[in-house]
Amino acid sequence: MSREIYKYRVPVKDVWHDVAMPSHATIVHVACQDTPGVVSLWAEIENESASVTRSFRIYGTGQSIPDDTDYVGTALDGMFVWHVYENVLTK
């Protein structure tokens, strides 16, 4: 079995975003790359993993974060700092 890296994009909006990715994908990096208002997640996967729907949401500094979330990473976007969280109920 081999491993690969894939990129997933999550818009900066005050809602949860469903992302189809392999169930055992490990997010290895978070950054703002080329589109304002979008955070990219890079995940390492095993190419034979089945896909599931995972939910991510972007929070700004100072916003309230629900208890049922896991921290994924932080991205800098000019003067903004975005924090990515995953809904643990969709993991």
Q: Where are the domains of the chain?
A: 3-90
- The residues that bridge with 19 in the sheet, in sequence order, are 54
- In angstroms, the CA 31 to CA 44 distance is 15
Q: What is the pLDDT of residues 8-52, one digit of tens each?
A: 999 999 999 999 998 889 999 999 998 889 999 999 998 777 889
Angstrom distance (rounded) from CA 10 to CA 34 = 13
Tell me the whole-structure pTM to 2 decimals.
0.91
Cβ(29)–Cβ(4) below 8 Å:
no
Which amino acid does the sequence have at 91? K
Q: Are the C-beta atoms of 42 and 55 separated by less than 8 Å?
A: no
